[in-house]
Amino acid sequence: MIRRSVLAAMILIAPLAACGRRHKPRAAADLAASRTTTIGINSYLWRAALDTVSFMPLVQTDSNGGVIVTDWYANPKSPGERMKLTVTILDRDLRADAVRVAASRQISQSGSWIDVPVQAATVQKLEDIILTKARDLRRNAIAG
């Protein structure tokens, strides 16, 4: 008889125990939070980076490490010049300093490829494009 009373009390009290905790209502932004748990880095930055460099052949992609490495790409409009990119996603948060682009550039001289500097503005522009696309992806996920 005592066991039944204890069991009945536990069944009645257990749902009430959860009432004492305060839970914040889930906002729409939580559904598309900038933190991710399925891959090791921010998924919006990852998708934006892949989309940004999709015109180049990919050599390596590592979503857990957040690294995308392209092969050499020569624009058909300037076949004497080629570029290679490494995009690194550094954080799980969607922040301006969470993406880094490293670029290598070569020009063809006398039948061989010579390394030449990449303008800092080129790398900055690529980072800005990735960030803008990532923000748009996040905004669409929240609104959608």
The span from the CA of 84 to the CA of 78, in Å, is 15
**pTM surpassing 0.85?**
no
Q: In the chain, what is the straight-line distance between the N-terminal and C-terminal CA atoms, in Å?
A: 55
Q: Which amino acid is at 72?
A: W
Model confidence over 62-121: pLDDT tens digits? 999 999 999 999 999 999 999 999 999 999 999 999 999 999 999 999 999 999 999 999
What are the start-end ranges of the E strands in the chain?
Answer: 58-62, 67-70, 81-89, 99-109, 112-116
What band does 38 get if pLDDT is binned at 50, 70 and 90? low
What band does 11 get if pLDDT is binned at 50, 70 and 90? very low
Which residues lie below 8 Å from residue 105, measured CB to CB, with a gap of 6+?
Answer: 81, 82, 83, 84, 115, 116, 117, 118
Q: Could you give the C-alpha distances from 73 to 76, 105, 127, in angstroms and in order?
A: 9, 10, 18
